[in-house]
Structure formats: C-alpha cells, structure tokens
Structure 1
Amino acid sequence: MNETRLSDFIKAYDVRGLVPEQLDASVARAIGAAFARVVAAPDGARGIVVGHDMRPSSPELSRAFAEGARANGFDVTLIGLCSTDGLYYASGALDLPGAMFTASHNPAQYNGIKMCRSGARPVGQDTGLAEITAVAQAICDGAEPEVPDGSTLEPGAVVERDLLADYGAFLRGLVDLSGSRPLKVVVDAGNGMGGHTVPSVLADLPLEIVPLYFDLDGTFPNHEANPLEPENLRDLQAAVLEHGADIGLAFDGDADRCFVVDERGLPVSPSAITALVAAREIGKEVAQGVAAQDVAIVHNVISSRAVPEVVAEHGARAVRTRVGHSFIKAEMARVGAVFGGEHSAHYYFRDFWFADTGMLAAMHVLTALGEQDAPCSQLVAEYDRYPASGEINSRVEDVPAALERVLAWAPQDATTDHLDGLTLGSVTGPMWWLNIRKSNTEPLLRLNVEAQDVDTLTRVRDEVLGLIRQGS
C-alpha cells in the first residue's frame, strides 16, 4: 500500500512533487491510468501523447505514466525530450490528450506533470485534475485495480516519434524571420529544454546565436532555470554586453516562458513584450481583412496598464482576466482572442491552440527587432511606459484584516474590483493601481503596484506594504 497523499503535491494546475518521496514510478503509473479514464476515455480519444524534460527522473516517470494509460487500453505516442510547448504542439497537431513530465523552474529534486486534453486544452482543478487525483489515489491505495475486474480490455500500443522538426517548422510558418537584418542573440537555456529546441527552431535564420548553458542537465549546475528571479539573469546580462549582442533571451526549465534582455543588458518587462506582440498580432489580423474592433487580446489583472492602452491605440479590444493559464486559455476561447499575455512571461496564441509558447513570443520579438534598425531598448520603449513594483510577497496571518486596512486607506473615489483579489486604482491625481492577491497554498499576500512616476509608485507601495504587514 502506498502511503503517498496525492493532494499534497497535485496543485490547481499541475503535479509538482519531490522525487522519489512523493512522485515515483508507481505514482506516475497510477496517474497515467487515471488520466486515461478521466480525460482520454470520456473525450473519445484514440490515444495519448507523452513527452518529458531533461530531469534525471523524467524518462522513467514518463514511461510509467504511459504504462498506466496503455494498461487501460490506450495507444501511447512517446515523443521523448521536448519543451512544454512542444508537447502542446504534439497534442494539437495529433489531436490527442497529452502529458508533459517537467517541474518547470523548480529545483532539481522536483518533478511533475502538466496535462492537457486533445487540442492542448487545459486540464486543471476544475477541468479534470480533481477527478484524476481521486482516481489515482484510489489506485495507489489499492482500493481499485488498474484494470477493472472482469474487463477484457486489450492493452494499447506504444510508439516513439520525434516531432522536434515538425514543431520548429510549424512555428516558422507563423512568424517569418527570413527577412530580418542579421542579429546577434545570446540565449540562456539554463541547462533546460531551450538547449534542445533553440538550435532546431532558429536554425538557418539570419541569427548568430551565442549559447549559454545549452547542455541538458536537470541538476541545474549553473543557476536555477527560473528567469523570473533577477539573479538568474545575471549571466545573460553580462554575456549580452560582452558579445555586443542585439538582444538576450532566457528560457525557464521547460522552455515555455521566455524573458528578454535588451542590448544594454537590462531586463524588458514581460508586460512590454505582451503589448509588442499584441500590436503585431492585431496588425496581422487587420492585414488579412479583419476589422480591428473585432480583434480581442487577453491580459491578466497584474499586466501593465500599457497593455490595454496599446491594444486600444490599435483599435482592438482588451479583455482582462484572472492570473493563471486555465483562466487565460478559457477566456481566449470564449472571446476568440488572437493572443493573450501574462506578466509572468507566459504568452498564448490562438494559432497555437490557445496554448502558451515562449518560443513563438521570442520569434515575434526577434522579427520586430530585425524589421527595423533601432536597438532593442528603443523598440520596446513604446510599450514599457510605467514604473512597477514587481510582485512583493508578505506573510500575513489575518488576510481579511489586512485587506480591510488597505480598503480603509484607499481614496473614496478610487476604483475597486474583485476579479482576482483586490484591485484599486486612482481616479484623480497621478495614475496608480495596485492588486493584492492571496496565495492558494501559503498565508501570503502578493502585492503588485504600478504608477505614473517613481515617486507615486514608491509612496503607494510603501504605504500599502506597511498596512499589509502591520502586526505581522
């Protein structure tokens, strides 16, 4: 009997657990069987597709998951090493439910699973993950055999298939880099899957790639593959200056997020990248005869105000939604949005099955840079308009009391909404807005502030942080 409680490490969107203490081959096999029953069977799928990252445990865990699905009668296509967006490509192109074994940017002792329905449609807590957890737990507890008693179910087949070249060709068909001026590009793969995908996707283009940490190594010997943390960008920033590069790109461990550094070695806000790509996608739709007012762009509540401003300036419609990929994808599908962006550097494309792909966003930025002669810093300046605090976490035991203090502080005429946490905004005086969101897993409040100028940003940030942390 397995003593593991799956609910300890199956979260709202995916699986993230310690190996082997929480996630081992037997648990992966049980989750694979549950995935087949809860997702693949009701969807009428003829099989599933499974990929994995470069972590040492990923091959064994992914094959165990595949065996659980195969034992339940499903054919399994193993695509081996891939980025998470490479798995989404496989799910979309093959029209199969999929599972990606990765713990993204988490430290080396972790692994996990990101799952999707056919066509890369998300699987989250409200879209099947809770049911998968319950069925897999029953299998782990021995309360339910992997194949029901009396079943004559024939095990499925397992085939291996390399889709890396197809994935690259598909992306190059969405963004034409062939006419770009020559660019020198430093890419920090962080020993993650970018080291596998970048050489294939960006080959034979007018780009001189300077590679940093392209060796696949799930122990992350150089730095964590989490570019959201400033210290993990330092090597890239130094290399951009050392090589006189036009731009730097940093990918996280599973290469579904991409961060940009300009020619001065300075990070570019993911909201600015969202606005830039949005402008390009709107322009592409208009060039194909779509009226601008019929084009929708989705962004989350902590994206810069520059994003809806740029969208409006291009005549299109900005749609605001909650933080998190399941909310972005659902809202994009609901409104038929062509593109969606999050301040965490996840970028979603209608033409990529509404799924997120950092590589495609990077190609848009490279194309925009290569189509004109200005440096990267000048290109993005139009989209990077306001100073921002970034996300600041505070450990708070009495969250409702902290929120009440902030509401009491706010000017009487401040705008207020509760779409995702508490968002307040100025009506008179210099522009500012703030969002406070509660963590789902810890007693934390997450604060984001943006303002017209640095003085206003500093004042609002410090006053609100003092209220949040009062008594803590």
Structure 2
Amino acid sequence: MFDPAMLQRSADVRGIYPNQINEELAWLSGKYLVRSLRKMLGEDVTPGILVGRDGRTSSPAIYAALIQGISAEGGRPIASGLATTDMIQWGVGEGRCGAHAGVMITASHNPAEYNGIKSVFKNKETGGVDVMRPSDHLAPQFEEDGEDGSASDSVTAPFPAAGKMNLQEDFVEAALSRSNRLGDASGKIVLDPGNGVGGLFRPLLKTALERRGAKVELLAVAEQIDGRFPTRPSNPGLPGAVELLQETVIAEGAAFGAAFDGDADRVFLVDEWGQFVSGSVMLAALAKNMVEKNNNSGAVVYSAVSSWIVPETVRAAGGQAILSRVGQDAAKVALAKTNAVFGGESSAHYNFPDTYCLDSGLFAMVTFWDMLLESGLSCSQLLGQLKPWPNSGEVNLRVECADWKSMSSEVIAAIKSEFSDDSKDSYVLDIDGVSVFNPRVPEYATADDVFTIDQQGDPTGKVYRQVEDYTPDWWFNVRASNNEPLLRLNFESRDASEVAGRTYSLISRIRELCGDRAKITVQDWGNLK
C-alpha cells in the first residue's frame, strides 16, 4: 500500500518495510524525481539519475522498482548496484555517466527492518551536492498527479548497460588521493563495516594501497555484507556496539579501528587502546587540521548537538564556528553560504567542501590517517591533545502516545518557555528543538547576540548561526527525532559532577510535562549507564 504521508519528510523517505517503505512507493518516487528534476533543469533535459543500494534484504526490490519508475517517466537511470551513500553523492558531483542527481536505497543506521530513499542533486550555483527533500521535490509532484490506475508498460532492468563504470574503485581512489603519505603507511588497521555495505572497502583499499607501496595490513571484522546485521547494530555510535572492533584492535596491536554505519557514510574511530572516539572529538580534530591548513582561518560548520569542544577547538585554531541545525540538508546549506573549510555532525558525518560538500566516512578516515602519519603520534596521543567536556551522551526517550510529534512539540515549547525566564540566567536558542546555555554574560544581552544571524546567507537564522566568543558553564539540547517516536536529550557541563543530576532532572521534567498523556521510557541512556 502506498502512503503519501511518507513523501512529506524533510530529509529522506524512511520507514519499516513493507508497511511504510515498499516497491510501490519506490516506483512513484522515481517517477516524481524525474518530474521534479525536469522543472529544475528544463523540460527538454532527460535527467540522468545515479542509483545505488545498500545490503539490506529489502534493498534489491526497492532499488529495481525505483529504477523502473525513473524510466517510466522518461528519465535515464544509471544503475550502480551495491554502493555506499557517499559513493553515490561523489558520483553525482563528478557527473558520472552524465548524472544530474542520485538516489541511494538505504535506511542508514536504522535497524534491519527499515529501509529508505535518499536523494541528492548537483547544485550548479554552488558546485555542491544538495539534498532533495521529499517534502519539496516529491510531495508536490504527487499532488499534481492524476488518478489513472493503469500500470505503466515501461520497464527497465536494474543493471547497467555496460559493465565498466568502476564507481566503487574510482571512489576509493579519490578518497586515498587526499593523502600523499599513505605510501609510507605500515602496521595494522582494522575496519568494521558492521555487515553493512562498507564491506566493499577492504579489498578495494588493499589493492589501491599496494599500488602506492604501503606496507599496511588491513584487517576486518563483520565484513560480510548481510542486511540482517547479525554482528552488531548498523549504528556504530550506540553504547557497546563496537566491542568486537575494540577487542580486535587491542589483540592485533593495530594503530586504530574504523567502524562504519549501514550505508558507510559515517565513521567512528577506536584508538590503539580500544578506546571509543566520540563523533565530536573526531570532528574537532579534523576541523583543527583543516583550519590550520587554511592559514589558521576559515569557517567550520558543526551541528547543534555537538560537544562544545568543537567551537572551542575551532576558535583556538583561528577559525569561525558556525552552529547549524542537525541534518545534512542544513549542514550543506551552511557550508555553502559561509564558504566553510570543513563541517560535520557529532553523529560522525564529516563534510568536505572541496569535494561537493560530500559527507564521507572513508574521506574522514583517510584524512585522519594522514594526520597520524604527519604527526608521528599514536591515535591516543593525537586525540589526547583535545579535552572533551563531561557529557551525558545522547539519551533517547521513547514517547508512547496517540500523537508523539505533537507531544514532542509541546514538551520542547514548554522547556523553551521555562528557561526563557530571567531567573534561569540562560540563553535559549530554538534552531533545532530547544538549546539552553548557562549562564548569561554582560557582553551578550540575548541569544541572538551570542549566536548571530547571517543576514545574507540565512536571514531567518533557522538553518545556522555564527557563534561569538562565548563559552557556557553548561548547556543542553532537547529535540525530536525525524523518523522515530523519540525525544533526544544531550547535556554537557564543564563540571562532571553536574552531568548525571541535571540530566536526570530534565528527564523527570519531561515526564511531568507529559503527565498521563504519554508514557516516557528511556530507550538509550547515552553515557549515563
């Protein structure tokens, strides 16, 4: 059954297969993408759309249906088969086989029963690869569609016309070309694709590194692509998810380990001692490197729930910190509008403005590897130069009620109202859910003075803000998930003793606000338990 409400999503189409995401939805999405692209490119243009899929059990069927929908509307599907999300984005940026846009069949880090459709297009004005929001590009085409139930007679096989596109090999080569030191690499590195499509990487990397003369040994755990994700969750950022990788890095004496999510556009690191490296620490390290290489200048975009270590590190290196709404759709707007040198999110998305604002786990891993080789330090020594703030991690609260979205909005509005009172001595920012920063300081009267609006790039201030020279004692953010009935809570403080108590108090307050209208349970405790 086709559910038109799925087309109203702001980032990608994602849900449980086959009830929410299915072949019918995929076929129509392909059709509507072609219609939308024709309006953007001109009616006389035949849109070329690069299409890839991850290793989920439902992905081949959804992939085939979407390709047929593209063809039925007169578009030109470019079938790449198994691919990572960043491969597809990179291929669009490169214009592979004349691609104007790209689609990836994946639910990213969601569990095995989920699937989804991520779409991007090449922005001719900025040179970047931008997100095609379903609400902007698919829903309007559905509204304009007719009521003819006749099946289309147009069918296209989900296979390429020729067998030598080499997207996977060329993408890996593009990632490795970011370093001219990898030929000197030695020792061991452990990859953990988590049974996701990142299982493509190791053999391709091995061949390309051998050509460079590298003496490195690439090892892997959970390498077999299996859409059931039998070894660990597809989200490597969950507490305890990468224990096998941590154990293997220690046992093998590896320099570091790299854990990719289900579609391999995100990566988390493990140092040589098996210590998990948070996305915020990795973001701060990469940002510092990029700012320093840009003559100690340049803007860095970071998401609203990232650790304060990111703006601190960026400012210390001479850069300008830019806070953006969570999500790659917002991040890529901020990157382009501020001419940023780097960007990313605490969820382990890392963006490279010099390559179509691509968010790539493999590009990030190679860049960090190059940093290690340049420094001559170990992973723990290099990252030990950064001092993370004590924090709760991301605590996920499940909201069980008739309308979780309305309830979440009500909770966020109530928290905003409470902390806007002068007695709370806090700045309140509503760029993504609600963020509260304590205390106020005489130099900045309002939140708009701390987080200033770029009147030219984003006059509404709803996508990103420039961060002035201010540091809170503590801050927190509460926001609703886009895809699941969850409220996500992040708390951070300079004082470690405050973290648990203030986080528990926030959870209790959220329960009070919901009363008996919703059941609030803690699904993930973040760093608290």
Aligned pairs (5 A) from 1:235-384: 235-286=244-295, 292-293=296-297, 295-384=298-387
Q: Measure the CA separation in 2 of the matches of 1:163 and 1:441.
A: 30
Q: Measure the CA separation in 1 of the matches of 2:393 and 2:421.
A: 21
Report the equivalent of 2:473.
431
Q: 1:331 to 1:177 in 2, by over 3 A?
A: same
Q: Which whole-Å deviations, capped at 9, do the CAs of 1:312-363 have from their partners, x for residues lacking one? A: 1111111111111100011111111121110111111112211211111111
Shift, 1:101, TM fit: 1.1
Q: Measure the CA separation in 1 of the matches of 2:52 and 2:414.
A: 43
Check whether the contact 1:115–1:123 (CA below 8 A) recurs between aligned residues: yes
Shift, 1:132, TM fit: 5.0
Q: Which whole-Å deviations, capped at 9, do the CAs of 1:21-65 have from their partners, x for residues lacking one? A: 443333322211111111255324541111111223323322221
SS in 1 for 2:492: strand
Match of 2:500 among 443, 458, 461: 458
Report the equivalent of 2:4.
6
Q: 1:390 to 1:411 in 2, by over 3 A?
A: farther
Aligned pairs (5 A) from 1:63-462: 63-94=64-95, 95-118=99-122, 120-125=129-134, 127-132=136-141, 134=143, 138=145, 142=148, 159-160=161-162, 161-178=165-182, 180-201=184-205, 203-204=208-209, 205-286=214-295, 292-293=296-297, 295-395=298-398, 397=407, 399=411, 402-403=414-415, 407=419, 412-427=424-439, 431-440=473-482, 444-462=486-504
Q: Which whole-Å deviations, capped at 9, do the CAs of 1:144-193 have from their partners, x for residues lacking one? A: 9869xxxxx99999635331121122222223342554242111111111
Q: 1:300 to 1:24 in 2, by over 3 A?
A: closer
Q: Measure the CA separation in 2 of the matches of 1:236 and 1:349.
A: 26
Check whether the contact 1:80–1:162 (CA below 8 A) recurs between aligned residues: no
Q: Measure the CA separation in 2 of the matches of 1:438 and 1:158.
A: 40
Q: 1:401 to 1:333 in 2, by over 3 A?
A: closer
1:432 alignment partner AA: W
1:285 alignment partner AA: N
SS in 1 for 2:307: coil
2:12 alignment partner AA: D
Q: Measure the CA separation in 2 of the matches of 1:230 and 1:311.
A: 27
Q: 1:53 to 1:155 in 2, by over 3 A?
A: closer
Check whether the contact 1:192–1:252 (CA below 8 A) recurs between aligned residues: yes
Residue 29 of structure 1 pairs with residue 32 of structure 2: no
Check whether the contact 2:63–2:105 (CA below 8 A) recurs between aligned residues: yes
Report the equivalent of 2:446.
none
SS in 2 for 1:437: strand
Q: 1:441 to 1:73 in 2, by over 3 A?
A: closer
Check whether the contact 2:6–2:14 (CA below 8 A) recurs between aligned residues: no
Shift, 1:410, TM fit: 8.2
Q: Measure the CA separation in 2 of the matches of 1:61 and 1:370.
A: 42
Shift, 1:264, TM fit: 1.6
SS in 2 for 1:230: coil
Q: Which whole-Å deviations, capped at 9, do the CAs of 1:219-245 have from their partners, x for residues lacking one? A: 222222210212321111111122122
SS in 2 for 1:30: helix
Shift, 1:443, TM fit: 5.7
SS in 1 for 2:306: coil
Q: 1:180 to 1:296 in 2, by over 3 A?
A: farther
Shift, 1:414, TM fit: 2.0
1:422 alignment partner AA: V
Report the equivalent of 1:289.
none
Q: 1:419 to 1:177 in 2, by over 3 A?
A: same
SS in 2 for 1:469: helix
Q: Measure the CA separation in 2 of the matches of 1:185 and 1:249.
A: 8
1:17 alignment partner AA: G
1:124 alignment partner AA: R
Q: Measure the CA separation in 2 of the matches of 1:165 and 1:401.
A: 49
Q: 1:351 to 1:270 in 2, by over 3 A?
A: same
Q: Measure the CA separation in 2 of the matches of 1:74 and 1:191.
A: 32
TM normalised by structure 1 equals 0.88
Q: Measure the CA separation in 2 of the matches of 1:221 and 1:354.
A: 32
User: Where in structure 2 are there 5+ consecutive unaligned residues?
Assistant: 124-128, 400-406, 442-471, 521-529
